[in-house]
Structure 1
Amino acid sequence: MEHSKFVEEVKSQLESEHKDLPVGRNGRDDNDLILWFLRDRKFLVQATVSKLAKALEWRRDFGVDKITDVSIRRMAATGKAYLHTSPDVEGRPVVIVVAAKHFPVEEELVESEQLCIYLIEKALSQLPPGGDKMLGIFYLRGFKSRNGDLKFMKFLIDVFFNYYPKRMGQVLFVDAPYIFQPGWNMVRPWLKSYANLVRFCSVAEVREQYFTPATVPVDFM
């Protein structure tokens, strides 16, 4: 009951100050979305209104709801990122990034960003009852300097800080080669407290600790 009071305050303020923002699912009157951002902002109404308004503006301007299977088909075909068909042992949807298949090309940055958002949205749509977080796995075997992409990493960090706050339950860096370390040293300060979500581990640890024999992703068999 107490939470509903805060939700209604945020909803009322958004209606008053941001009439141009969309309504409906993932809109300014979506109770679940408002409650999630309230929790992120520790139930401070004004802070929630400010952050949620920016997130909704971004969703509209980025065209999140217009991204489809067809629009991301070419980038998805590279196999560099995908939603695993099974959750992990905690029931979390799993997005896997195969870093060695990512080759940064300036004109393809928007397509990579769209694939990223498509996978996040799809993962969140598969959350189990009571679930609220996903698992991200970066498979780094074979990673070379040519696969590094600071622009995309900045986009990804911005996305999870501002538009999908606290939706990432954990991030696994799997079989990271030595050449990955300088890039990580550069990116880590950007993550602030989110860096605590990162775990470096091996393929065997992923296979044995995060999945059952029947649900292990093909890349880790």
Structure 2
Amino acid sequence: MSIRFSSTIVAASVNFKSSKNLNINRSRNCRFSVRSCVSESQHAHKLVLEVKERLAKDCTSLPLGKYGRDDEDMILWFLKDRRFSVDEAIGKLTKAIKWRHEFKVDELSEDSIKAATDTGKAYVHGFLDVKGRPVVIVAPAKHIPGLLDPIEDEKLCVFLLEKALSKLPAGQHKILGIFDLRGFGSQNADLKFLTFLFDVFYYYYPSRLDEVLFVDAPFIFQPIWQFTKPLVKQYASLVTSIPYCYVFMHRF
């Protein structure tokens, strides 16, 4: 006696086998992905310990503790910035730790920067943006080079960065910078401070700046920016120019 299978039963059988194979492949890929992540994490931790040991051996004068030569979170961040090159990370990390100590970053406070704060030229926004990033807002039109001692402006810059980073939510590691360029004029241009700002983000707070928005940049700002772009190198790619109305409609 011959038995005929309907096309529906055959198709169902094929679909079941395909689904089963797909689930098996997904399971294999998941296991491979987990093993890969564990392996990468172990390798990263090994490099962190290597950097930590070398700093302990060769840089005994560097401070310990948070943001010191034994701060594993800081070491890992600089390793990531240098694509896990131990030598490059050590060079950059040593420079950053020395700078923090000499600049006395941990001693900065609202009172110590009051003169610069009162100008209203920069502040940390009270809310995170739509991507969950802390926001530093800068109003260059309120900056008059020479009005204050340059060190006061530098202290304000570093204090606000520290404040913004302290507001990072879990899973977020970078901040947004908004430059409100309305009213900007040639009298507000400050190449010396801009050089300091670049050093801060490149050497001392690497990979912390996620995006920069230039808001309502006037015509006079364009040649200044074109002159500046080569100086800030890869950070120029983080910049987007937008109108003022767009900021609070789409960014908060």
TM-superposed deviation, 1:107: 5.0
Pairing 1:95–2:130 present: no
Superposed, 1:160-179 pairs within 5 Å as 160-179=201-220
Which of 201, 204, 210 is the aligned partner of 2:245?
Answer: 204
Pairing 1:42–2:91 present: no
Which residue type is aligned with residue 167 of structure 2?
Answer: Q
Which residue type is aligned with residue 65 of structure 1?
Answer: D
Which of 229, 233, 238 is the aligned partner of 1:188?
Answer: 229
Q: Secondary structure at the match of 1:138?
A: strand
User: 1:19 — aligned with what?
Assistant: 60
The TM-score, its normalising length taken from structure 1, stands at 0.93
Pairing 1:3–2:44 present: yes
Superposed, 1:104-123 pairs within 5 Å as 104-105=145-146, 108-123=149-164
User: 1:215 — aligned with what?
Assistant: none
Q: Secondary structure at the match of 1:103?
A: coil
Unaligned runs of 5+ in 1: 212-221
Pairing 1:77–2:118 present: yes
Would the aligned equivalents of 2:138 and 2:179 in 1 still touch at CA under 8 Å? yes
Q: Within 1, Cα distance between the matches of 2:181 and 2:139?
A: 7
TM-superposed deviation, 1:106: 6.8
Pairing 1:145–2:175 present: no
Would the aligned equivalents of 2:116 and 2:148 in 1 still touch at CA under 8 Å? no
Q: Secondary structure at the match of 1:11?
A: helix
CA deviation string 1:150-188 (max 9, x = no partner): 110000011101110110000001000001111101110
TM-superposed deviation, 1:74: 1.5
TM-superposed deviation, 1:44: 0.8
Which residue type is aligned with residue 119 of structure 2?
Answer: T
Q: Secondary structure at the match of 1:4?
A: helix
Which residue type is aligned with residue 100 of structure 1?
Answer: A
CA deviation string 1:49-81 (max 9, x = no partner): 111001111111111111111101121011000
Which of 92, 102, 105 is the aligned partner of 1:64?
Answer: 105
Would the aligned equivalents of 2:211 and 2:238 in 1 still touch at CA under 8 Å? yes
Q: Within 2, Cα distance between the matches of 1:53 and 1:171?
A: 27
How many aligned positions are there?
211
- Report which of the two structures shows the higher radius of gyration computed on alpha carbons: 2
Pairing 1:159–2:200 present: yes
The TM-score, its normalising length taken from structure 2, stands at 0.82
Which structure has the highest helix share of the two? 2
4+ residue segments displaced more than 6 Å: none
- Percent identity over the alignment is 52
User: 1:134 — aligned with what?
Assistant: 175
Q: Within 2, Cα distance between the matches of 1:208 and 1:106?
A: 34
Unaligned runs of 5+ in 2: 1-41
